[in-house]
A and B are shown apart, each in its own frame.
Chain A
Amino acid sequence: MSATPRSSGPWLPRLVVAPSFLLSLLFIYGLMAWNGYLSFSASRILPNYDFVGLAQYEALFDNERFRVAMGNLAIFGVLFIGGAMAVGVVLAILLDQKVRGEGLLRTIYLYPMAISFIVTGTAWKWMLNPGQGLEHLMHQWGFAGFSFDWLINPEMAIYCVVIAGIWQSAGFVMALFLAALRGVDESIIKAAQVDGASLPRIYWSIILPSLRPVFFSTLLVVSHLAIKSFDLVMALTSGGPGFATDLPATFMYAHAFTRGQIGLGAASATVMLATVAAIVVPYLYSELRAKR
């Protein structure tokens, strides 16, 4: 339901939002378009505007490192978003049980959000390093056979990035869901309990489904964080070992800026954006539609 503009006329609201809307849309879509144009150009060390058709895209899909990066995006994306959501929801439900010291626990789960990805990456890099971190500690404690070398193992390194990422973001999911859970109507729960339903059943069948809008917003925010994880990867593994933990964002950064292949980098950015759009846009559409 929207209020009908009256004495201020229909133009004032539009005027008010126009500058920031226009700027944002220009900023977002203008830059995407510019990037798209670059992906069709022969740009190398600096942007240039010679058109070369699909040459950059051909080179891109031929590039083994890019294929690894896209694969990593899928693994990391699914695990990080799924993991952060799952851990966050579980923590929220647990904290909703009228626990003493809830405030303290909540702060403990939430504080990692305050820290920049660079700091997180550096700290975790040290902790997961076999020679100095967890493995070394276990050896010192006497567990000589313990080995945790995921960080240096090309197959497993990406999971280290997932762990550090979930650590950083689960608290935020928890905060959002806790807030939402607190807003749920007590009477519905009581009615279900009178009917004899167990607590887990109540959560699963009644409460969680009613939180769909929160789920939507949280998923948006966590996905946004997943894409921003460029900082985390750079600090934790620098894309290594080799390029086993490369993501399209780090691929683009390395090629556009260090290797003087701006055209190729732009192509990779476009592919990344297209992938994200393919998943996000239908979701956005369905959710915003549903709200009408």
Chain B
Amino acid sequence: MNRLTLHRLLLWAVLLIFAAWFLTPLYVMVVTSLKDAEQLRVGNLLSLPTAPTLDAWHKAWSSACTGVQCEGLQPFFWNSVITVVPAVLVSTLLGALNGYVLSKWKFPGSETLFAFMLFGVFMPMQVVLLPMSQVLGWLGIASSIWGLVFVHVLAGIPSTTLFFRNYYVGLPDELIKAAMLDGASFWQIFRRIVLPLSTPILVVTLIWQFTNIWNDFLYGVVFSGADSKPITVGLNNLANTSSSVKEYHVDMAAALIAAMPTLIVYIVAGKFFVRGLTAGAVKG
């Protein structure tokens, strides 16, 4: 009995130490964002604010300078929303269709094509920038929100296809066969049988894509137009001032605002994320 308790104690100790390590940066960010300039100078990294205030948050949202304009992160926030929603939906849908075909309607060469596509996951983003700009210029959607959405969709297809394919491989083929015997078409099987069973993997893919696209900076700064810059660009402009006193509390508040949607998604839907993974996103 003693040994078991000792084990449990050890288990908890390790888990808690890790939890502290994981939580510290978040703690630092929150605590700093609640201070004002005076408290920043006097205190240290971990000290609690002596007089917590939301001023930094107000400033970051509506009046911090991000260039010649000083409107805070608010305009960028909406640009991100407008970019992310279509990009996530389209790339997820395409991933689902591709996964469906690759797992249930294989044709000669489909596995090879899939392998080739997987390799694309490893391509660093910087390589893409210039040629993609040229292509977008030819298509007439350069420096616009549509160009940005297009690039995000293209970049997301390999990952979403991977997720859906691995999941659908786990669905019994008998289901499909039975439906075909009943005379169902390709589309009907997808809509009526496969999609309803896809909830776990849909959640995983939506969360994954949302996080990646919302947090992306490089494509966001290069492919967007002057009116469609996402929030990461705004945050970068705000925090990367090369002159004047660094306002760490505003920087931290801005970083938290930028991270808020994805944080909320993970905290609220994290359970479903893991459930979706359990259901076979990566069993492959």
Contact = CB atoms under 8 A, between A and B. Distances in A.
Chains A and B directly touch (beta carbon < 8 Å): yes
Interface of A: 1-3, 5-8, 10, 12-14, 16-17, 20-21, 23-25, 27-32, 34-35, 47, 87, 91, 94-95, 97, 99, 103, 105-120, 122-124, 126-127, 132-134, 136-137, 140, 167, 171, 175-176, 178-180, 182-183, 213-214, 216-218, 220, 223-224, 227-228, 230-231, 249, 252-253, 256, 262, 266, 269, 272-273, 276-277, 280-281, 284-285, 288, 291
22 contacts: A5-B105, A14-B101, A24-B120, A25-B113, A30-B131, A99-B11, A108-B19, A108-B23, A113-B266, A114-B211, A114-B266, A116-B216, A116-B217, A116-B258, A118-B232, A123-B252, A167-B22, A217-B162, A217-B166, A231-B217, A262-B130, A284-B118
A284 B235 CA distance: 37
By secondary structure, the B interface counts as helix
A114 B105 contact: no
Nearest to B32: A126
B111 interface: yes
A216 B284 contact: yes
Question: For A97, A115, A249, which residue has the most chain B Cβ atoms within 10 angstroms?
Answer: A115
A124 B45 contact: no
A23 B154 contact: yes
Closest 6 CB pairs of A and B: A116-B215, A28-B120, A179-B277, A13-B105, A2-B106, A217-B282
A13 B44 contact: no
Given A10-B107, A28-B120, A230-B124, A115 B154 contact: no
A270 to B, nearest CB: 9
A139 B249 CA distance: 22
Given A20-B98, A118-B236, A122-B255, A111 B274 contact: no
B98 A284 contact: no
B78 interface: no
Contacts of B21: 167
Contacts of A99: 11-12, 15
B107 A14 contact: yes
Contacts of A1: 173
Interface residues of B, number: 93
B185 A7 contact: yes
Contacts of B132: 27, 31
Given A114-B266, A218-B282, A224-B122, A31 B23 contact: no
A127 B21 CA distance: 12
A3 B180 contact: yes
Contacts of B191: none
B15 A20 contact: no
Contacts of B130: 47, 256, 262
**Of listed B113, B117, B124, residue having the most chain A CB within 10 A:** B124
B97 interface: yes
A7 B176 CA distance: 13
B281 to A, nearest CB: 8
A97 B277 contact: no
A99 B116 CA distance: 41
Contacts of B255: 119, 122-123
B19 A109 contact: yes
A13 B186 contact: yes
A107 B267 contact: yes
Interface in B191-237: 211, 214-218, 232, 235-236
Contacts of B282: 176, 179-180, 213-214, 217-218
Contacts of A35: 127, 131
Nearest to A181: B278
A63 to B, nearest CB: 17
Given A94-B15, A95-B15, A176-B282, A123 B124 contact: no
B54 interface: no
Most buried by A among B103, B128, B239: B128
Contacts of A12: 186
B67 interface: no
A103 B19 CA distance: 12
B114 to A, nearest CB: 8
Contacts of A103: 271
Contact of A249 (B103, B124, B280): B124
B206 to A, nearest CB: 13
B102 interface: yes
Contact of A134 (B45, B158, B235): B45
B185 A111 contact: no
Given A1-B173, A118-B232, A107 B266 contact: yes
A122 B70 CA distance: 22
Nearest to B134: A47
A175 B101 contact: no
A211 B128 CA distance: 34
A230 B126 CA distance: 9
A115 B117 contact: no
Contacts of B154: 23-24, 27
A175 B15 contact: no
Given A25-B117, A281-B119, A32 B177 contact: no
A288 B45 contact: no
| Highest count of chain B CB atoms <10 Å: which of A2, A10, A230 | A2
A29 B123 CA distance: 10
Contacts of A6: 180
